[in-house]
Amino acid sequence: MGFTARANRQGIRAGSIVVAAAAAVAGTVWGVATLVGPGHGTAAQPPHENVSRQTGTPEEGAKGGDAQGAAGAPQSRIPDGIAHASESGGNAVNITIDDGPDPQWTPKVLDVLKKYDVKATFCMIGPQAKAHPDLVKRVVAAGHRLCDHTMDHDTAMAKKPVAYQEQQILDAKKMIEDAAGGGARVEYYRAPGGAFTPDSRRIAAANGMRPLGWNVDTKDFGKPGVAAIVKAVKSEIGNGPTVLFHDGGGNRSQTVEALDQVLDWLKDQGRPTGFPVRTAPDGS
């Protein structure tokens, strides 16, 4: 075989290698683009900072990411839109409890919930959960659900870098789940002061947590009096089903008494309680 023929055949082989390599690279790039493209991006919604009442629908942000299992297989689709509706539908009410767990007040709140056979969603601060794993376990054992309320309750986190938001959310999630043990999962994420951002919602949804808003701010954190807390629920429940209470951050004696009265009133009204929606509207 002459020099020219050998050179031509070597050139063909080299060209084939280049084409194959280019195809492999293209496949890799396409895979990455799929992960960050439609279905995994953020919804066009501005941040909410320190708002007392968040509005929206469970369909909002239905393009949320799929939660991934250990083998990378998609689990139930968790939208990144802020949830407000109840899984129980109809006139059901969602009771949510923020800022704990607290060794003095969380047990009292749990006792009131047990009295009325009501299940609630507890939005916990990471270090608080780590400091009181017995209370986290008690919450789970009673059939309540867990919610991530970040590491430091930084109401200004919406103005901070994405890496900071991710650290606040994911470190708290790990602390809460470690404290709960037994494979318990954190199923929701609530931004401090309602300071959601498209990025924080995306991070939460990608890690199996539905962003959780509220419709009724009882303002119990400011200790306005038991009557004022109860009145807030009765006058604002028409805004939507998710009610905000607190079991941490200070003396919550007013909250405990008001919660008792609110649950008694809901019982008289024939209104059941439930958990906030988590998955996509189609149930997938």
For residues 97 and 106, what is the distance between their CA atoms, to the nearest angstrom? 9
In the block, which residue shows the tokens 């199923």? Answer: 187
Give the CA distances from residue 6 to residues 3, 9, 13, in Å, rounded to whole numbers and listed in that order: 5, 5, 11
Would you call the peptide bond into 47 cis, given omega within 30 degrees of 0 as the criterion?
no
Residue 261 near residue 227 (C-beta atoms within 8 A): no
Clarify whether 98 is annotated catalytic: yes
Give the CA distances from residue 234 to residues 8, 22, 93, 237, 243, in Å, rounded to whole numbers and listed in that order: 85, 64, 12, 6, 11
Q: How is residue 278 written in tokens?
A: 């988590």
- Catalytic hit among 66, 80, 98, 148: 98
For residues 181 and 184, what is the distance between their CA atoms, to the nearest angstrom? 6
Rg (CA), the chain: 24
- Catalytic hit among 217, 246, 247, 260: 246
Clarify whether 260 is annotated catalytic: no
The catalytic residue positions are: 98, 246
